[in-house]
Amino acid sequence: MEPINSLETGDDFESKHVVPLPPSSCPHVPPTLREGELYHVFISYSSTDYRWTHSLINKLESCGLQVCYHERDFTPGRTVLENMSDCIQESQKVLLVLSPEFVRSRWCLLEANMSLFRDCLERKPMVPVLLEPGVSVPLHLCHLTYLEVRDPDFISKVLKVLCTPNQQLQGSTVVPFQPPSIYNGKALQPLTAVNEEGLQKWDAGQFSDMEVPDQLRLVIEDQEKYRMAVRRINSVSQNKVWLRPLWQRVVIYIAGVMFVFVITAFILYMTVILLTGEKINLPGVRSFTVLIFFCVPLGLIIQISLWKKDEEKYILREMQKAVGEANTILSEEKVLMGCRSNTKIHLVYVCLDGCRREFEETFSEQVCAEEMFRRALVFFSSGYACCLAKRHFPFPQPSCTGHLEGGVCFCQYVSQQLSREEWK
């Protein structure tokens, strides 16, 4: 049955979202504004949702709540980001009206400048409101509580949350939002090596472990795991890269060639004496010396080119192995890393619980299953994360459904890779 009372809306889209009204007397008392606070709530929304949002604002203000929104309360002449930052700091809570247009436009502004809102994300309650069921909730909000407009008790719940003091909000009856399957396989912003400038191709990139990136700070619960994972990757540059300066390589090569030349000349000289009893004439020695020194530059060029090529492959293999080992730590946090160059690490948000259970069912002994799953992460997770990030796999999508909705899951990827190796 459709509720009798609703927020008045003037178009077809907004009329789909029916919002029951509470009794005429508001059952909740707004909390007291503290020093530095001017508003009970800052509401951020897309202009396309103007009419619905202002109907909600009118109702909240009729209950005594001080509401802040951009059309009325932003200071002219200042940037949108400056206004948003100040209004958030001056408000007790933040309410986000999530619609497809909001996620496409306004949330992108917040997400791109997440550092400006770090205090808000850590200290101020954020209340996502889903304007319609199909909205893709931004990944950074998956850990927060949410409210659905279609909920018959929507207005009552909104008032309860906004009228509850921040320190008591944990006791709210609002249901925690669970990350939907749509986020499985979502690519995040990649990490770039801090030593990218001037980094040689045969060197390993180093990545900052001082601070967890904003995009991961709210996804990874145990942030020390992220630091451990990055330190494992950084160990490649410390332990696997040696004689990095090119001039050292050239000196070692020339010294090696000269050593071989001296030994060869000595052996040749002694062989001639022992066989003929005669000494090698001076012109012959000169010709041999000229030939050797003519070959040194040519050999040096060939050797350095091969050396660089071999070490590029070697360093990349070592980094991929380190990333795989890092993923044995991060997979518990639903994050995987991928490496296809020495300067960039791809990141994807993916849940491997279903694939882990598949390994447990495939291998009878639990200890064996855990070890096989760990080895699969070490050897295959880097490539899998790169394929997810680039949305391309080097084989047709399997016909059977895996554990990743609309994509290739990790155990399917491992199976495909093992099959390809068997045919080589």
pLDDT the model gives residue 26 = 72
Q: Which residues of the chain have pLDDT under 50?
A: 1-24, 112, 171-174, 176-178, 180, 423-424
Options 3.50.50.60, 2.40.160.40, 3.40.50.10140, 3.30.70.270; CATH for 12-178 is: 3.40.50.10140
For 182-197, write each residue's pLDDT tens digit.
567 888 778 889 888 8
Which residues have C-beta within 8 Å of that of residue 231, sequence separation ≥ 6? 209
**CA angle 82–110–32, rounded 5-degree value:** 65
pLDDT the model gives residue 229 = 95
pLDDT the model gives residue 7 = 45
The Cα–Cα gap between 69 and 54 comes to 9
> What residues does 115 pair with on adjacent strands?
none
What six digits make up the tokens of 337? 């890393």
pLDDT the model gives residue 312 = 72
pTM (two decimals): 0.56
**Dihedral class, residue 334 (left if φ above 0, else alpha if ψ from -120 to 50, else beta):** left
pLDDT the model gives residue 20 = 41
Give the residue extent of every domain in the chain. 12-178, 183-242+312-423
